[in-house]
Structure 1
Amino acid sequence: MNHHHNHHGEAGFKRKVDYLDRPERSEVLSPEGFLTSIPIEKTASILDLGAGTGFLTIPAAKLVDNTVFALDLDAEMLKLIEEKAKEAELANVQTLEASMEAIPLEASSVDVVLASLVLHEASSLENVLSDVSRVVKTDGYFACVEFDTKGTDLKGPPMEIQISAVKLREELARFGFEVVKNWQLDEGMYVSIVVKK
């Protein structure tokens, strides 16, 4: 199978990785800072949607003894996460090559779902949230970072695919989620931490 078609070869893949792992990203929101804002027990199982380079997967795996699932459509990214996990001697990372809209996990099987700057890439937000709601346990958490640059001079993804905090809250409510914390970050980003009722 040829996985290179979406990266324009190795150079494109490397550019994407460098972009996703750039230090500025941690300055706006460090993965550790993001993770500590969610009540994560040592025994929690975690699912990282659109895990990319493992920006959240790896720090999350250091926090828990249970499995951290890294889900991404890109097999190369998942291979990179596996390498990083091995380097960090983390045996609790499991990669899933799948779509956020069809998560290959059992119902009510994870305690925490993470989504950093990936929800706007989904073809259907509704499908993603519906599936997240399916896999998260009752009283489990869904924590996401998204762009809402409306009314700012900031550049994010195209406006028509951005998901405002208000829109996200409304969509989440339809699937039994309640926002517990919401705050703005620099660069037109915000964090929503929600609990499944």
Structure 2
Amino acid sequence: MKVIDSGMPEEKLWSTFFNVELILSELEIDKSINDLVEIGFGYGTFTLPASKRINGTLYAFDIEDNMLQLLSQKLSVAKIINVTPEKRDILESCTGMDAESVNYVMLFNILHHNKPNDFLNEAWRILKPKGKIGIIHWRSDIPTPRGPEVIIRPKPEHISQWIDFAKFYLHKSPFILEPYHFGLIITKK
């Protein structure tokens, strides 16, 4: 099931909306991570840079055939071998990953779905204890050049309400990722 209002502009324009290296640093994506899952990789804006920061494998999932082909081409050209891209509808069939098998899950610009807990529950299932979920989303407090309709964008306080504090704790409180996003990190207990 495709997340509503998830269309993307041309890649060149899309890449101008993010300071990728800053976002990855703020979200603590680094060599302490062995295996990482990215749900909804799109153009691979974060996939390739994140793959160079971790020690293990980056498992990248997206629902779109064309995005899978594009990412596969980019990986081949860049000679990156630690990324496993897969076309999969996470909301219909989960990731297919073993329980407690990864250190980190990236949920970037995807929680505007009408059932965001489906993503959070799958992330919890596949995360090892002390594993982290990095979340970014479009801000709703300022005008942005893209993103889903403001009315369906999650605010940091919404995400805090969705978190099951029996399963997670807030590792890094919501923070601004200039110019158009906010981020936060939660950790599995």
Taking structure 2 as the reference length, the TM-score comes to: 0.83
Counterpart of 2:11? 17
- Write 1 or 2 for the structure with the bigger share of helix: 1
CA drift of 1:112 comes to 0.7
Q: Identify which of 71, 74, 77 aligns with 1:87.
A: 77
**Amino-acid identity (%):** 22
Q: Deviations over 1:27-61 (max 9, x none)?
A: xxx22222222153355101111100111110111
Question: In structure 2, do the counterparts of structure 1 residues 17 and 165 end up closer, same or farther at CA, with 3 Å as the change threshold?
Answer: same
Contact 1:148/1:164 (<8 A) preserved: yes
Tell me whether 1:142 sits opposite 2:133 in the alignment.
yes
Contact 1:51 1:70 in 2 (8 A): yes
SS in 1 for 2:90: coil
Match of 1:63, SS?
A: coil
Find the aligned partners of 1:131 and 1:47 in 2 and give their Cα distance.
11
Change (3 A) 1:170 1:123: closer
Deviations, residues 101-127 of structure 1 (Å, cap 9, x unaligned): 22221111111111221221x341111
Q: Which has the higher contact order (CA 8 A, sep 6+)?
A: 2
The DSSP-based 3-state class of the residue aligned with 1:96 is strand
Task: From the superposition, tell whether residues 186 and 64 of structure 1 become closer, same or farther in structure 2 (CA, over 3 Å).
Answer: closer
Name the residue aligned to 1:75: 65
1:138-175 Cα distance to aligned partner (Å, 9 max, x none): 1011001112314x444642233111101101212356
Name the CA shift for 1:34/1:178 in 2 (closer, same or farther; >3 Å). Answer: same
Q: Say which one has the larger Rg.
A: 1
Alignment partner, residue 111 of structure 1: 103
Cα distance between partner residues in 1 of 2:33 and 2:151: 39
Q: Compute the displacement of 1:69 (Å).
A: 0.9
1:127 aligns with 2:118: yes
Q: Where does the alignment leave 5 or more consecutive residues of structure 2 unmatched?
A: 1-6
> What is the CA–CA distance in structure 2 between the aligned matches of 1:54 and 1:99, rounded to whole Å?
17
Which residue identity does 1:192 align to in structure 2?
Answer: L
- The answer to whether the aligner puts 1:63 opposite 2:42 as a matched pair is no
Residue type at the aligned position of 1:34: I
Uncovered stretches (5+) of structure 1, i.e. residues with no partner: 1-11
Please list, as runs of the form range in 1=range in 2, the aligned pairs for 1:23-62 lying within 5 A after superposition. Answer: 24-26=16-18, 30-37=19-26, 38=28, 40-41=30-31, 44-62=34-52
Say whether the 8 Å CA contact 2:17–2:180 is kept in structure 1: no
On the 8 A contact 1:42/1:66 being kept in 2, the answer is no
The residue number in structure 1 matching 2:171 is: 180
2:100/2:129 contact within 8 Å kept:
yes
Would you say how many aligned residue pairs link Structure 1 and Structure 2? Answer: 178
* C-alpha RMSD of the superposition: 2.3
**8 A Cα contact 1:96 1:104, kept in partner:** no
